[in-house]
């Protein structure tokens, strides 16, 4: 938010002249019939994408020369806003004259770029980028129909943000490499989620298979798990230098204290007919860790339990775990 965002503008003001012209007079709007295609010895391909209930739907017609696989003519029909109409028209235009394999390589980013008045100014505002995605999807559907394959086969990676064409792999990678904690950071690094925002979280313009919030959460969880595993491994190998007692969770602190007591303290107490139990463990505001214990058996009431024995326990724990430990018998 800043000066330019406070009084919202009309999204129409952000449409390029090309977009506006195509909205008013689409060049490739219409149908190709089977007869028309046959007359010219071409194969008719018809593909649909989207639905009225989603707010966008497009139907693409190709007349393809089966010898060369060249798309000789392309037409469209579209249910959608003006930018959807302009994008569909541009997409049909870009298909014409290309082979089917070449056409499949046309992305929504190519469509948007073709509608720019100058190379540096986007043709549509961010939230309208979504409209050109459909143009890309319907090409894949048409090519799949022509080749008799599944449309999914043209997509090798999982795309999370279709507007900016960002893959699941890329998003996970930037989270890990840059230690990202928020969706805004992901958007800043990758542009994923910067346009129609559907991929950020459920409840947007359209339902998605993957959402940035979930990817972030899952990746962060994975990273935490890996950190814990590294810690556990380091302990086994005796080189627990990576994480100090201070970084432990409460459970880890308790376990580490228990382990030290079992190893160096309890055997001595038991020899004298006594024992102890840990009642509680707390981090204090001044940065210490207080361990509350209760003496059992012979230790209970023993004169040295508040002097020599206590000092011995404390010094073992300070040595083994953390110099900030205080032991408080109750």
Partner 1 sequence: MRVYLDNNATTIVDPKVFKEMEPYFVQSYGNPNSLHEFGSETHPALRKAMGQLYCGLNADDQDDIVVTSCATESNNWVLKGVYHDHILNGEKDHIITSEVEHPAIISTCKFLETLGVKVTYLPVNEKGIIEANDLKSFITEKTALVTIMWANNETGMLFPIEEISQICKEAGVLFHSDAVQAVGKIPVDLKKLDIDFLSFSAHKFHGPKGVGGLYIKNSQPLTSLLHGGEHMGGRRSGTLNVAGIVGMGEALELAVKNLSFENNNVRKLRDKLEDEILKLDDVFVVGSRDERTPNTILVSVKGIEGEAMLWDLNKNGIAASTGSACASEDLESNPVMEAIGAEADLAHTALRLSLSRFTTEEEIDYTVGILNNAVKRLRAISSTYSYAPDWHDSKL
Q: Which of residues 240-299 bind partner 1 (CB under 8 A)?
A: none
Q: Which of 74, 196, 215, 321 binds partner 1 (CB under 8 A)?
A: 196
- 75 near partner 1, rule: CB under 8 A: no
Quote the DSSP letter at residue 121. Answer: S
Residue 175: which residues within 8 A CB-CB, separation 6 or more? 186, 215, 216, 219, 220, 223
The stretches of 125-249 forming alpha helices (DSSP H) are 129-147, 168-178, 183-190, 212-236
- 127 near partner 1, rule: CB under 8 A: yes
What is the spatial distance between Cα 170 and Cα 174, in angstroms, rounded to a whole number?
6
- Closest approach, Cβ 62 to partner 1, in A, equals 15
β pairing state of 289-297 and 325-329:
parallel
Q: Name the packing angle between helices 308-320 and 250-260 (round to 10°).
A: 120
| Between 196 and 327, CB nearer to partner 1 | 196
- Closest approach, Cβ 22 to partner 1, in A, equals 11
| Between 56 and 73, CB nearer to partner 1 | 56
Structure tokens, 128: 């309208």
- 122 near partner 1, rule: CB under 8 A: no
- Closest approach, Cβ 48 to partner 1, in A, equals 7
Structure tokens, 251: 């459970």
User: Buried b vs exposed e over 11-35: b needs ≥16 C-beta within 10 Å?
Assistant: eeebbbebbbebbeebebeeebeee
Q: Which of 98, 116, 165, 205 binds partner 1 (CB under 8 A)?
A: 205
Pick the stretch among 77-85, 217-225, 232-240, 244-252 that binds partner 1 (CB under 8 A).
77-85
Contact 86, 115 (CB under 8 A): yes
- Among 248, 230, 226, 247, smallest CA distance to 239 is for 230
- 4 near partner 1, rule: CB under 8 A: no
- Closest approach, Cβ 129 to partner 1, in A, equals 11
161: annotated active-site residue: no
What is the spatial distance between Cα 227 and Cα 221, in angstroms, rounded to a whole number?
10
| Between 60 and 299, CB nearer to partner 1 | 60
321: annotated active-site residue: no
Q: Which of 21, 55, 245, 281 binds partner 1 (CB under 8 A)?
A: 55
Q: Which of 70, 81, 270, 278 binds partner 1 (CB under 8 A)?
A: 81
Q: Which of 76, 146, 211, 248 binds partner 1 (CB under 8 A)?
A: 76
The catalytic residue among 95, 131, 199, 299 is: 131
What is the spatial distance between Cα 153 and Cα 308, in angstroms, rounded to a whole number?
75
Structure tokens, 42: 């071409």
Query: Where in the sequence numbering do the catalytic residues fall?
Result: 54, 131
- Which residues contact partner 1 (rule: CB under 8 A)? 8, 11-12, 23-24, 26, 29, 48, 51-59, 76-85, 127-128, 130-131, 196-198, 204-205
């Amino acid at each position: 938010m800043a000066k330019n965002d406070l009084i919202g503008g009309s999204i129409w003001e952000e449409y390029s002249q090309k977009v506006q012209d195509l909205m008013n007079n689409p060049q490739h709007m219409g149908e190709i019939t089977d007869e028309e295609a046959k007359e010219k010895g071409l194969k008719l391909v018809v593909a649909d994408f989207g639905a009225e209930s989603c707010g966008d739907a497009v139907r693409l017609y190709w007349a393809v020369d089966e010898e060369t696989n060249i798309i000789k003519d392309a037409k469209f029909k579209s249910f959608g806003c003006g930018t959807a109409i302009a994008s569909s028209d541009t997409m049909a235009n870009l298909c014409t004259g290309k082979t089917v394999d070449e056409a499949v390589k046309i992305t929504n980013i190519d469509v948007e770029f073709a509608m720019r008045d100058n190379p540096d100014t986007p043709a549509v505002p961010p939230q309208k980028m979504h409209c050109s995605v459909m143009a890309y999807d319907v090409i894949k559907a048409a090519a799949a129909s022509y080749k008799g394959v599944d449309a999914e086969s043209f997509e090798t990676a999982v795309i999370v943000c279709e507007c900016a064409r960002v893959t699941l792999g890329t998003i996970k990678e930037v989270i890990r490499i840059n230690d990202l904690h928020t969706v805004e950071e992901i958007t800043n690094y990758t542009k994923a989620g910067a346009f129609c925002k559907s991929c950020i979280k459920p409840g947007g313009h359209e339902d998605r298979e993957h959402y940035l919030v979930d990817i972030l959460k899952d990746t962060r969880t994975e990273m935490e798990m890996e950190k814990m595993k590294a810690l556990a491994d380091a302990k086994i190998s005796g080189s627990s230098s990576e994480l100090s007692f201070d970084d432990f969770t409460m459970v880890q602190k308790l376990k580490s204290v228990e382990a030290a007591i079992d190893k160096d303290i309890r055997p001595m107490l038991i020899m004298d007919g006594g024992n102890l139990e840990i009642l509680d463990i707390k981090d204090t505001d001044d940065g210490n860790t207080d361990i509350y214990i209760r003496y059992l058996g012979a230790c209970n009431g023993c004169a040295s339990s508040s002097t020599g024995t206590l000092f011995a326990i404390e010094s073992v724990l300070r040595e083994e775990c953390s110099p900030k430990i205080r032991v408080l018998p109750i």
